[in-house]
Amino acid sequence: MAKDLVEFRNLETHFKTTAGTVKAVDSVSFTIREGETLCVVGESGCGKSVTAMSLMQLIETPPGQIVGGEIFFEGKDLLKLSKREMSRIRGNQISMIFQEPMSSLNPVLSIGEQITEPLILHMLLDRKAAKKRAIELINLVGIPRAEKIFDSYPHELSGGMRQRIMIAIALSCDPKLLIADEPTTALDVTIQAQILDLMRDIKQKLNTSIMLITHDLGVVAEMADYVVVMYAGKVIEEAPVLELFQDPQHPYTKGLLKAKPVINQKQERLYSIPGQVPNPIDLGNNCHFHERCEFCMDICKEKQPPFRSHGKYTHKSACWLYEKEGEVL
């Protein structure tokens, strides 16, 4: 089995607001292994981006703060590093791409300047070597006529090309981990498929681990080795991708899968999970999904279910349906 690259252990990230403390990430634990694509799924507001931003240590403080837990990267707890050490890791070993490539690129700098900057700053290349590497990277992300693109400006490129450039910049320092937060949501479907192909290609060529955040289960099916399902700041299920699709355990995961359109299947109306994600302020010490769950029992309203394996050790979930009655926990 591949080595662990990142391990979140009981991570807690809170935001102080006038309405109270938002427990955006509430005791989250999971592991990303070397060369693996791990997908984080869940509805809007479940804590996916805050988990990724906590790993990058880009949580704005205040109002946000990591108040507990550990994030190990190659065995080192990132939360114990100095700002300087962390910024070195962020530049070299962990990169992130975002949903909206236009707002992440600087409109007044050429593509070449933007790709060479991290190469000069972090990889300590001189200008000539940086240009050579930048052109290699533009080719790597599948853009033809790389020399011409090097001198172009962001507004001259299409959305798909800009996202490819963002990936080129993210890969410029040979990161061990690439975090992609909804990288294709703003793109149309064919371009989306091309960008996903590119990411899969890169993973194979460079053995980069990928943490891919998405609400699209079609993307998960295509990309993931392993899946983590988040709900109201907590991980409620995790499993290898096939296992999750074939044998989902948590009623929330089942609901997400049911809400996915299936081609060639007659569907009267697309299913959607009733209700909404609860506001993560003052949530009780119970199952946070209980109000939306068709299988809700008394215990679900009173006690938080433990997160553990109920069969295969790689498949874990937090649901009272799988706990034996009367068992002492």
Ligand X SMILES: Nc1ncnc2c1ncn2[C@@H]1O[C@H](COP(=O)(O)OP(=O)(O)OP(=O)(O)O)[C@@H](O)[C@H]1O
Q: Which residues of this protein are in contact with Mg ion, per CB under 5 A?
A: 49
Q: Per CB under 6 A, does 183 bind ligand X?
A: no
The binder of ligand X chosen from 22, 86, 235, 287 (CB under 6 A): 22
Cβ proximity to Mg ion: between 49 and 163 the closer is: 49
Burial class (CB in 10 A: 0-12, 13-18, 19+), 122: middle
Among 38-46, 77-85, 136-144, 285-293, the segment contacting ligand X (CB under 6 A): 38-46
- The binding track of 78-117 with respect to ligand X, each residue x by CB under 6 A or -, is ----------------------------------------
Tell me the closest approach of the beta carbon of residue 63 to ligand X, in angstroms: 5
| Pairing status of strand 4-17 against strand 20-33 | antiparallel
Tell me the closest approach of the beta carbon of residue 305 to ligand X, in angstroms: 21
Cβ proximity to ligand X: between 137 and 229 the closer is: 229
One-letter-per-residue 3-state SS of 240-287 = EHHHHHHCCCCHHHHHHHHCCCCCCCCCCCCCCCCCCCCCCECCCCCC
Tell me the closest approach of the beta carbon of residue 49 to Mg ion, in angstroms: 3
**Rounded (to 5) percent helix, strand, coil in the chain:** 35, 25, 40
Tell me the closest approach of the beta carbon of residue 177 to ligand X, in angstroms: 18
User: Cα separations (Å) of 230 from 20, 22, 209, 214?
Assistant: 22, 16, 20, 11
Among 44-52, 102-110, 252-260, 309-317, the segment contacting ligand X (CB under 6 A): 44-52
Please list every residue from 221 through 280 that binds ligand X, using CB under 6 A.
280
Selection from 221, 229, 216 nearest residue 189 by Cα: 216
Q: Which does 33 bind (CB under 5 to 8 A by kind): ligand X, Mg ion, none?
A: none
Q: Alpha helices of the chain — where are they, by DSSP H?
A: 48-56, 83-92, 101-104, 111-121, 127-140, 146-150, 159-171, 189-206, 217-223, 241-246, 251-258, 298-302
The binder of ligand X chosen from 37, 49, 116, 184 (CB under 6 A): 49
Asked if residue 115 lies in contact with residue 169, where contact means CB atoms within 8 angstroms, the answer is yes
Cβ proximity to Mg ion: between 49 and 192 the closer is: 49
The binder of ligand X chosen from 63, 274, 275, 311 (CB under 6 A): 63
List of residues contacting ligand X (CB under 6 A)? 15, 17, 22, 24, 42, 44-50, 63-64, 215, 280
